[in-house]
Structure 1
Amino acid sequence: MMTMLDVQQVGDRARQIHEAITNHPQYGRLTTSSMKYSPCWATYTGFPTISKWDLDTDNEPLLHEALRVLAIKAAVFELTGGDEVTAELLVPDPVDEMIHAVLAQFTVMTTLQADLGVQFPHATELEKFTYTLGCPTDQYYAAAGWGVPPQRYWLDSTVVEQRLAVLNQLYESVGIGVDGRSHNIDFDTLPAGTTPARVG
C-alpha cells in the first residue's frame, strides 16, 4: 500500500521540477538521446502491450510521460526526506520502460540532479507492477496540472496482464518463450540470409 502524501503539495513540487527539467540547457540532449536509445529499449512486455504500438510515433509521447513521472517521484522523494520506498510509485509498464531509457542517459541525468538540486530515485528491487487507475500516482499527476494520464499508455495492470497473455500466445507460435525471456531458434541451423516465416 502506498503512503499518501498531501496531493497538492506533491503536485506543485512535481510541476516545478518538471518545468526546471524542460528549461534546462541539457533538455534537448536528454530528449534526443533518450529517443536514440530506442534499439535498446524495445522489449516484449511493456511497450508491446500498447495497442498498435509504433516505436517511431509513440516514443515522444512516452518520453513526456516518463519525465512527468520522474518529476513526481523526485517530489515525493524530497518531501519524504529521501524515502525510496514511498517514492517508488506505481507506474504502468510502458511508461516504466521509457523511464529506464531516460535514466540510461547517465551523464545528462547526473548534471540535471546537480544543477536542479533534486534526486531522481529509481530502485528496481522496489518496483511493483500493480498500477491501478486512480491510485496516488494518478492523483499526484492531476495535482501537477497535467489532467488525466493518457490511457493509451497508462494501462491498468489487469489490462497489461490480459494483453501479455495474448502476446505470449503469439510469441510461443514463433518459438519465443514467456515474456520474451527465451527462444528455441537455432541460428546455426538456418541457411545464411534466410528469414523463416515460422520457427519452432
Structure 2
Amino acid sequence: MTTVIEPAAVAVRARQILDAWQADPEFGRLWEGCAKYSSDWDDFYGYPIILDYDAVADAPALFTETTRAMALKSAMYELTGYDEKRAELPLPVPVDVMSHALCAQFTLLSRIQDRTGIKFVHMTDMEDGMAGGTWIHGDYTHQAYRAAWGPVSERFWIDAAETERRRRILDEVYAQIGVTERGRKAAILSAAAA
C-alpha cells in the first residue's frame, strides 16, 4: 500500500530544501550556468509555448520556478523513502525544460548535493507522458507548490491542455519550414537547397 504524503508536508520540506540550496556558496554559480545555457539549447516545443518568450528576460523568473519545482521533487523523494517514480512530479513544459538546463550543471550540482546532503531528482524515464506537459492546474504538484510558495506564475505554469493547443499551433508554423514531428525531424537545409 502506498502511503499518502500530504501536499502540506511536501511543502514544508521543499521550503527547507530550497533554503539549503540557496545558502550553498555555489548557488549563484548554478544560476549563472543556467542563464548562459540558453545559447546552447535548441528547443522547439518547450520555451516557445510561453507567450512572447525572451530567453534573457524570462530566465530569472523561470529559474526561480524551476528550483522551487525541483525542491518539491526532492522533498517528495525523501518523504516517499526515495521512490523515483513518485518523486517525478508532473511539471509544466517550460519548467521541465529549464530543469534540463539546471541538470546540465552536473559537476556543480554534485558538489551542492554533497554539501547539503539533498539529492536533485530528475528522471526523464519516470515522467508520465514522456513528452512532458502533464501538469494540470489544481493537481498534487500545484497543491504542494501553493502550500510552499503561494500562486504559481501563470506565465510558465501552462497546463497540459493549453500546452497541447499551443504545440498544435507550433506544428503548423514549423511544418512550413520543414520542421516536423515536434522538432524531432528537420529538413530546412534540404528544402532551402532545392
Question: TM-score if structure 1 supplies the norm length?
Answer: 0.89
Matches within 5 A, 1:114-125: 114-125=114-125
Q: Distance in 2 between matches of 1:142 and 1:65?
A: 12
Residue 171 of structure 1 aligns to a residue whose secondary structure is helix
Q: 1:189 to 1:99 in 2, by over 3 A?
A: closer
- Is 1:85 aligned with 2:89? no
How far is the alpha carbon of 1:162 from its aligned partner? 0.4
Match of 1:197 in 2: none
Residue 53 of structure 1 aligns to a residue whose secondary structure is coil
Q: 1:117 to 1:133 in 2, by over 3 A?
A: same
Match of 1:133 in 2: 137
Q: What is the one-letter code of the residue matched to 2:183?
A: G
Q: Distance in 2 between matches of 1:172 and 1:44?
A: 12
Q: 1:4 to 1:164 in 2, by over 3 A?
A: farther
- Is 1:33 aligned with 2:33? yes
Cα RMSD of the aligned pairs, angstroms, is 1.8
Aligned counterpart in structure 2 of residue 172 of structure 1, from 159, 172, 175: 175
Cα shift readout 1:35-86 (whole Å, capped 9, x = no counterpart): 1111223401110001111111111111111100111111110111100010
How far is the alpha carbon of 1:140 from its aligned partner? 0.9
Q: 1:170 to 1:25 in 2, by over 3 A?
A: same
Matches within 5 A, 1:18-97: 18-97=18-97
Matches within 5 A, 1:4-19: 4-19=4-19
How far is the alpha carbon of 1:180 from its aligned partner? 1.4
Q: Does structure 2 retain, via aligned residues, the 8 Å contact 1:171–1:178?
A: no
Residue 29 of structure 2 aligns to a residue whose secondary structure is helix
Q: Distance in 2 between matches of 1:143 and 1:71?
A: 13
Q: Distance in 1 between matches of 2:182 and 2:40?
A: 16
How far is the alpha carbon of 1:187 from its aligned partner? 5.9
Question: TM-score if structure 2 supplies the norm length?
Answer: 0.92
Q: Which of the two has higher C-alpha Rg?
A: 1
Q: What is the one-letter code of the residue matched to 2:170?
A: L
Q: Does structure 1 retain, via aligned residues, the 8 Å contact 2:178–2:191?
A: no
Q: Does structure 1 retain, via aligned residues, the 8 Å contact 2:92–2:158?
A: yes
How far is the alpha carbon of 1:120 from its aligned partner? 1.2
Aligned counterpart in structure 1 of residue 184 of structure 2, from 178, 181, 185: 181
Cα shift readout 1:125-174 (whole Å, capped 9, x = no counterpart): 11123210011111111121x11111110001110000000011000111
Q: Does structure 1 retain, via aligned residues, the 8 Å contact 2:50–2:156?
A: yes
Q: Distance in 1 between matches of 2:191 and 2:90?
A: 42
How far is the alpha carbon of 1:183 from its aligned partner? 1.8
**Superposition misfits of 4+ residues, deviation over 4 angstroms:** 187-190
